[in-house]
């Protein structure tokens, strides 16, 4: 008898494990709020997502044979980012990215799973976007300096009705 994982396509496996990770993240956040309050839960969530993503991107870069040093230029970044995004993005995350100009990454959501979840839980007024921390962690682990436009705190989808963020990248 074949194992369950052997019966899954790579796409099905990514969807399955991504839903588990997101469910854990949501339940951790919910219970942290119950135990510690929303301010502490937000701070811990942001820190956990960022440090996880820094480890994640190093693992991906190793699989790509990209090495662990700083990313040298925009072309290398586009290759690493696109491969990484394609690996980790499940279908239910209606996120998008593009490179509209030299040294600019544009990322955002048509519909945001995190926004919908915290809105249902009645916490959207207090939520600090943990999703953006994943991209920040990737950039910092790759040694890329950046600026974000627009600057915001909280949830951009809640504040403006849309989520689209430009990262102006500076390579050393």
* CA 123/CA 143 separation, integer angstroms: 34
Report yes or no on whether pTM surpasses 0.75. Answer: yes
Q: What is the CATH number of the domain that holds 149?
A: 3.30.1380
Residues 6+ apart with CB under 8 A from 153: 128
Tokens of 52: 């996880």
Which among 116, 101, 107, 66 is positioned nearest to 85, based on CA atoms?
A: 107
- Domain holding 63, by residue range, is 4-170
pLDDT digits (tens, 9 = 90+) for 63-113: 999 877 899 999 999 999 999 999 999 988 889 999 999 999 999 988 888
3-class DSSP state for residue 169? strand
Tally the domains of the chain: 1
133 phi/psi in degrees, rounded to 5: -65, -30
């Amino acid at each position: 008898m074949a194992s369950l994982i052997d019966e899954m396509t790579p796409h099905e496996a990514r969807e399955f494990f991504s839903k588990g990770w997101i469910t854990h993240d949501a339940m951790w956040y919910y219970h942290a709020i119950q135990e510690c309050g929303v301010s502490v839960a937000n701070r811990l969530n942001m820190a956990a997502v960022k440090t996880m993503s820094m480890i994640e991107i190093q693992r991906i870069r190793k699989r790509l044979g990209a090495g662990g040093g700083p990313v040298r230029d925009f072309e290398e970044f586009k290759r690493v980012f696109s491969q990484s995004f394609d690996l980790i993005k499940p279908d239910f995350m209606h996120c998008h990215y593009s490179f509209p100009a030299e040294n600019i990454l544009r990322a955002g959501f048509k519909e945001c799973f995190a926004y919908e979840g915290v809105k249902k839980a009645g916490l959207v007024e207090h939520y600090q976007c943990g999703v953006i921390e994943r991209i920040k962690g990737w950039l910092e682990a790759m040694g890329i300096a950046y600026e974000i436009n627009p600057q915001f705190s909280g949830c951009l989808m809640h504040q403006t009705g849309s989520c689209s963020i430009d990262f102006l990248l500076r390579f050393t």
